[in-house]
Amino acid sequence: MKAVIAENISKQYDGKPAVEKVSFEVNEGEIFGLIGPDGAGKTSIFRILTTLLLPDGGSAQVHHWDVVKDWRAIRNAVGYMPGKFSLYQDLTVEENLHFFATVFNTTIQENYHLIEDIYVQLEPFKNRRAGKLSGGMKQKLALCCALIHKPKVLFLDEPTTGVDPVSRREFWEMLKKLKQQNISIVVSTPYMDEASMCDRIALIQSGSILSIDTPQDLVKNYGNQLFRVKANDRYRLLEVLKSVPSTKSYAFGEYAHVSVEKDHQMDASEIAQHLQQNGLTEVEVGEAEVTIEDCFINLLH
């Protein structure tokens, strides 16, 4: 059985499309990532799949239940961690967890094994109000609350946004452990580096899916040549690179990346020469390692 099947789901707000014929499937026990920038439509897709928003078109099933007809069964069987902090700020850590367990007619003890690894980190603060926790701790508590009823599918909307890098890494380690418990996970993130932690990812932009693949195959099938380029004047470098035919260039950390179309193979020295002829100095051109971000940019029109 598939954890999620979405077929051509669409959503408009005030006549403007936010999700356009989005289709994907999530296998059982898989970590599936929706990767895309702000406004790409990730939250709308999550809200449709968790039955909080009706789609305007298409259909979707979660664990074989229909998101429109079987909303009650879905709500009981999934865990949803919305992007914005979802907990009761004035309740303590322990009270929040107890509250969510009670709503789902269970107890903290019943599924403690699922949250144990995370909860031990929160335990020293169990009497602290949730509103007074750090960003990383809040996310850990929200994850515990979304897990306490042992959901079949866990939906996490940008769980690591605004969380420090160490906590982000810890958070992903926790997701990997949950996967071993056969919980299917759909997670969204605007951070391209997190994409590689997923089993498969859908790259999404302006409400449409650009590609669905494993992170490894996405990178492997990049196809274009990719160079990383540096020079004395970064702004002018990007300006001059625009005039190199059959390429797409963009800022990438301290470098610019230059993607050369498949049928127009080019040497690093040709790019270097072009830059020098246009007055740039300290020119450095080398092959770049392809990242998910490069794949994403390459797929944009």
Ligand X SMILES: Nc1ncnc2c1ncn2[C@@H]1O[C@H](COP(=O)(O)OP(=O)(O)OP(=O)(O)O)[C@@H](O)[C@H]1O
Write out the residues near ligand X by the rule CB under 6 A.
13-14, 18, 36, 38-44
CB of 46 to ligand X, least distance (A): 7
CB of 277 to ligand X, least distance (A): 42
**Residue 43 or 139: which CB sits closer to ligand X?**
43
**Residue 46 or 255: which CB sits closer to ligand X?**
46
**Residue 46 or 172: which CB sits closer to ligand X?**
46
| Rounded CA separation 139/283 (Å) | 44
Is the separation of the CB atoms in 179 and 153 below 8 Å?
no
**Residue 57 or 279: which CB sits closer to ligand X?**
57
CB of 80 to ligand X, least distance (A): 14
**Residue 21 or 179: which CB sits closer to ligand X?**
21
User: Which 8-state DSSP code applies to residue 3?
Assistant: S
**Residue 38 or 289: which CB sits closer to ligand X?**
38
CB of 98 to ligand X, least distance (A): 30
Beta strands in the chain (DSSP E): 4-13, 16-26, 31-35, 57-62, 65-66, 78-81, 153-157, 184-189, 200-205, 208-213, 225-230, 247-252, 255-260, 284-287
CB of 206 to ligand X, least distance (A): 8
User: Who contacts 98 (Cβ-Cβ below 8 Å, separation ≥6)?
Assistant: 108
CB of 52 to ligand X, least distance (A): 11
User: Who contacts 155 (Cβ-Cβ below 8 Å, separation ≥6)?
Assistant: 46, 49, 50, 78, 79, 80, 81, 186, 187
**Residue 18 or 186: which CB sits closer to ligand X?**
18
Residue 255 pairs with which residues in a beta bridge?
252
Q: Which two tokens stand for residue 293?
A: 């971000």
**Residue 10 or 224: which CB sits closer to ligand X?**
10
CB of 84 to ligand X, least distance (A): 9
Nearest to 240 by CA among 263, 264, 272: 272
| Rounded CA separation 271/99 (Å) | 61
| Rounded CA separation 67/57 (Å) | 12
DSSP string, 220-268: HT--SEEEEEE-S-HHHHHHHHTTSTTEEEEEETTEEEEEE-GGG---H
CB of 254 to ligand X, least distance (A): 27
